[in-house]
Structure 1
């Protein structure tokens, strides 16, 4: 969350306050019917909305392509870290890597899968119960990369928007996965503010940060913390040289700042309204009847 599981209360709502889906899920599940919204229904529930999680969650849990992208991200991260180590000179500040936790180095898709078939949405109670179980798995390639950084003396800081109340459970989970640098100094969870920038800057004040690893654009810079699609996409274009260089992005089609942008940051929308906003964001083919012979 990274955009990881809390943003103070506003981050909470924008991050995971509701079930999420991906462009992949939309393209497969909703293609052919996206040119108009379905009629309003008082019976449309979170259970209905959660069905849109099926394709994205199945992809993350079973697709070789997802694993390949994760390995690719950490392979590139290792190359960039080697470059930073080679460029380091005597007297330089120590090197560090900043990583988000959720869907950046650990996999919480079991929580997303739990939502499917239930009239449930993301809530603090549901999420905290999952965190306390300490059952998140390592993303493919994450443990090897983090241990490599440790072997080269590069410190790893976990800047996550999990609530500080989940510190012990999160540390337990990461230690079970044999992640390095899991201590109170290197675990930087959310306290009062969801904005990660002050925590990133605290690390940058004492270390040279070689890389930032995350699944949400706000894991790299708070300028991405915007409530509209156009602003986020324009910022990506502006920062395009950073991706694969200093910013390492992991794929997460189930939730994130991209979804919040579809709603204008308003997660208080009803399940039906969220469905309509998702459909309205689709670019739709006109169909064979509109194709010239």
Structure 2
């Protein structure tokens, strides 16, 4: 399995967009386990008429053309109906993104994923049309960056302090604690929890837990050979049993079964 390479955005958009990722649609053939760290992301399907289905338990959400999500995922699978071409995934800075659409965090947590027009209204429909009109990946990226430039202007009162928190968590790959974050920022827990819930829909402890799990799952996917105990310890778990418990919680599978399923399916969307 080959890891996804990040395409860096233009310098002028680098605070709004944390990275672009190109995912072969064939990796979603036959259904795959979906893992998310809770950061907002927009994913564009290869063609505007393509559709994808998110399934969690007995709940299914079908979307066409593109979707937006920031919800952490447990035991969720994706099924792309037309597994040809490439998906373009855009990861976003939650502080700046939610500054433009302040009602999004709470609404995003109500469902695993949303279509762009139903969540962003005419703005989302315009973005979908502009990306669909482009053919090459570079042209799609340019269209997205141009749209972002008109939509996501930084406003007075920007929460730069919380933005630094997300940056620190990414640098540490989730290997930090709520106590450490409050000490570094010089804020109390109530401030941290209030802002985390607003921008991610989650308390900080749960956000760190899922972010750490995502990093562990990436290590498991792309390590050859894999040492389960080493992966557990390197990502802040007490032991291998702790890692197994987290995998069952988020994916419904033990780490070994998760890895074997990836071999059968080709890969997993993260």
TM-score normalized by structure 2? 0.31
More strand by share: 2
Higher relative contact order (CA 8 A, sep 6+): 1
TM-score normalized by structure 1? 0.29
